[in-house]
Amino acid sequence: MNAELSRQNGGGEQYDLAIVGAGILGLAHAWRAAERGLRVLVLERRSFGSGASIRNFGMIWPVGQTQAGLWSTAMQSRGLWLELAQKAGIPIHECGSLHLAFRDDEWAVLEEFQAKQGEAFGTALISPGQVHKKTPAANDDGLIGALWSGSEVRVNPRVAVAAVPSFLIDGFDVKFEFSTTVIRVGDGQLEAADGRRWRAKHTIVCSGADFANLFPQTHRQAGLYNCKLQMLRTAQQTKFQIGPHLAGGLTLRHYEAFRSCEALPALCDRVAKETPELDQYGIHVMASQTDEGEVVLGDSHHYGDEIEPFDLAEVESLMLRELHKIIRLPDWTIQQRWHGYYAKSDKKPIVMEQPQPGVTIVNGVGGAGMTLSMGVGEEVINRLLGDKTLGAKLGEMASVG
Ligand SMILES: Cc1cc2nc3c(=O)[nH]c(=O)nc-3n(C[C@H](O)[C@H](O)[C@H](O)COP(=O)(O)OP(=O)(O)OC[C@H]3O[C@@H](n4cnc5c(N)ncnc54)[C@H](O)[C@@H]3O)c2cc1C
């Protein structure tokens, strides 16, 4: 339907569910809704989802979550990722992860974590010899041991975000409108910047770091702010597989899972005294590998008003300095550099708001959006279909689970 016609008739095609944003969160909602029989429309401002979701490590990382928090959502998400990958033909690997310890205070945190949570998480402390059986990439020099977790999974985000729309179009007749900026949502209608309109019984807004454009007040009240991360990718490593995702002691400062360890403040104090520049740029280091052999390396964290559009060479040097301490690669040639933004809330682990009837905002998944996306999508769709009025409104085809 052309824009003029759409304007004249006060709205074009009718959908059960419209989704704003074709990042991984929008795609997860689209898949879970389409599987339940809903007629779904996805609107994306770019020619493809090119936000945080294609810029990440591709780590599905349940070990970063807490049991009292989002670990079960992460594990559910992990299962759904495996299902989606199999159905959509996306390469996926149950690679697991290693937190490598080189300092006594890092090992102390890992020992405490293992004693308190090891059984529930299915993790294990392993010796340097065992580490080398899992990865050839761990640096021998000063390695005390590692925390092994088998839950982590690897996908190439660039492949996944491109493959899911085709899978949804072919398998479920989901309608995608790319290069379409939504400027208004309400009263069962969506309007694009070029005047086209659509009708939907419900709309889910997954606008990621662009949260200031639709429902800015609701997003602001939910405590959302942006975080910028710098990333690197090496040349293809020839015949060298790092195996599991790799992280070091600095990462223990970053994820919720380790926050309750009494040994953590000593580690944080030591890092702050020895290497304050790492705190200044929010640096901790991790590595994952693509199927083609490139190793994705990162990252740094700049929040809110600190964010500048310019990437800092110093941040890159510091990340590489810290990475050299924990891993060895045959080829450290950096072939790609980029940055990404994700939205995070200082009030909630995930932002789910209803700014008006018929509209749900889902955002603020922070640095764990790849991990949590499928589980969150499942939960939100279940909730919408479980809501008596809405569930009935969304149509008879949908099965309430
Ligand atoms: C560098 C980096 C590394 C990360 N590593 C990991 C990792 O390894 N594991 C992990 O679990 N998480 C990781 N994350 C976090 C994860 O990538 C994000 O949480 C997740 O991608 C957020 O998904 P999203 O769909 O909300 O956002 P996005 O992917 O940013 O998608 C939002 C989409 O909405 C579109 N949009 C916005 N407004 C409109 C509008 N008005 N009209 C139409 N379209 C609109 C945008 O164009 C965009 O495509 C990382 C993040 C970054 C930046």
DSSP string, 214-258: SSHHHHHHTTEEEEEEEEEEEPPPTT----SEEE-GGGGGTSGGG
Residues 357 and 218 in one domain: yes
pLDDT value at 389 more than 70 = no
The Cα–Cα gap between 57 and 74 comes to: 16
Residues 379 and 306 in one domain: no
Q: At what angle do helices 71-88 and 157-172 cross, to 10 degrees?
A: 70
Residues 30 and 89 in one domain: yes
Residue 238 lies in a domain: yes
Provide the CB-side half-sphere exposure for 80 (13 A, CA): 23
Residue 31 lies in a domain: yes
Say how many Å lie between the CA of residue 342 and the centre of ligand 1.
6
Q: Tell the residue nearest (CA) to atom 21 of ligand 1.
A: 53
Say how many Å lie between the CA of residue 369 and the centre of ligand 1.
7
- Residue 349: pLDDT band (50, 70, 90) is very high
pLDDT value at 1 more than 90 = no
CB neighbours of residue 238 within 10 Å: 8
User: CATH code at 361?
Assistant: 3.50.50.60
Residue 5 lies in a domain: no
**pLDDT reported for residue 390:** 60
Residues 356 and 371 in one domain: yes
Residues 265 and 324 in one domain: yes
Q: Is the CB of 207 under 6 A from ligand 1?
A: yes
Residues 341 and 319 in one domain: yes
Question: If DSSP codes are grouped into helix, strand and coil, which group holds residue 19?
Answer: strand
Q: Is the CB of 74 under 6 A from ligand 1?
A: no
Q: Is the CB of 57 under 6 A from ligand 1?
A: yes
Q: Is the CB of 224 under 6 A from ligand 1?
A: no
DSSP string, 331-354: ---EEEEEEEEEEEESS-SSEEEE
Atom of ligand 1 nearest to the CA of 51: 30
Q: At what angle do helices 369-386 and 71-88 cross, to 10 degrees?
A: 90
Question: If DSSP codes are grouped into helix, strand and coil, which group holds residue 165?
Answer: helix
Return the closest-CA partner of residue 365 out of 17, 70, 20, 75.
70
Residue 2 lies in a domain: no
Per-residue pLDDT averaged across 279-308, rounded? 96
Residue 109 lies in a domain: yes
The residue type at 71:
W
Q: Tell the residue nearest (CA) to atom 20 of ligand 1.
A: 369
User: Which one of 43, 53, 196 would you pick to mutate in the ligand 1 pocket, going by the greatest count of ligand atoms within 8 A of its CB?
Assistant: 53
Residues 237 and 355 in one domain: no
Residue 399 lies in a domain: no
Residues 377 and 307 in one domain: no
Residues 208 and 121 in one domain: no
The Cα–Cα gap between 126 and 51 comes to: 37
**pLDDT reported for residue 67:** 87
Atom of ligand 1 nearest to the CA of 230: 1
- Residue 68: pLDDT band (50, 70, 90) is confident
Q: Is the CB of 211 under 6 A from ligand 1?
A: no
pLDDT, tens digit, 9 for 90 and up, residues 156-210: 999 999 999 999 999 999 999 999 999 999 999 999 999 999 999 999 999 999 9
- Percent of the chain scored above 70 by pLDDT? 94
pLDDT value at 6 more than 90 = no
Say how many Å lie between the CA of residue 343 and the centre of ligand 1.
8
Q: 267 vs 230, 275, 280, 286, CA distance in Å?
A: 24, 12, 16, 18
User: Which one of 31, 42, 43, 45 would you pick to mutate in the ligand 1 pocket, going by the greatest count of ligand atoms within 8 A of its CB?
Assistant: 45
Return the closest-CA partner of residue 327 out of 229, 236, 245.
245
Rg of the chain on CA atoms, in Å:
22
- Residue 393: pLDDT band (50, 70, 90) is low
Residues 192 and 45 in one domain: yes
CB 188 within 8 A of CB 358: yes
Q: Which domain holds residue 156?
A: 14-96+151-222+348-391
How wide is the angle at C-alpha 217 spanned by C-alphas 52 and 22, nearest 5°? 30
- Specify the range with the lowest mean pLDDT, choosing from 3-17, 24-38, 277-291, 362-376: 3-17
Higher pLDDT pick, 211 / 401? 211
Residues 76 and 159 in one domain: yes
Residue 297 lies in a domain: yes
User: CATH code at 252?
Assistant: 3.30.9.10
Q: Is the CB of 182 under 6 A from ligand 1?
A: yes
- Residue 321: pLDDT band (50, 70, 90) is very high
Residues 157 and 304 in one domain: no
Domain count, the chain: 2
Residue 8 lies in a domain: no
Q: Tell the residue nearest (CA) to atom 52 of ligand 1.
A: 56
The Cα–Cα gap between 193 and 148 comes to: 49
Say how many Å lie between the CA of residue 363 and the centre of ligand 1.
9
